[in-house]
Amino acid sequence: MSQIGLFVGSTTGKTETAAETVQKEFGGEDIVTILNVADIEASELENYDKIIIGCPTWDIGALQSDWEGLFDDLDSIDFSGKKVAYFGTG
């Protein structure tokens, strides 16, 4: 398993492209695993001590649709001791 989980939702592909750039800059697939939030359960975040979240916004700041199913479940995750970074595109 890689050292960093990069969780991303992307409708047009721009946020996914940004995630791939982050992955490359951090050292590639051995260091950063990109996970599409449309395909995972919130509990996947518990598998990583280092987390990057990539999320676009729509209209006037609406949540991107891939995150809608996962967003409410984030409250159930214990982020204690985890390092978390966030980037947004819009």
Tally the domains of the chain: 1
CA 73, 49, 69 angle in degrees (round to 5)? 20
User: For residue 29, what is the DSSP state?
Assistant: T
Condensed to tens digits (0 to 9), the pLDDT of residues 2-55 reads 699 999 998 889 999 999 999 999 999 999 999 999 999 999 999 999 999 999
Domain of 58 in residue numbering reads as 4-89
Give the pTM. 0.89
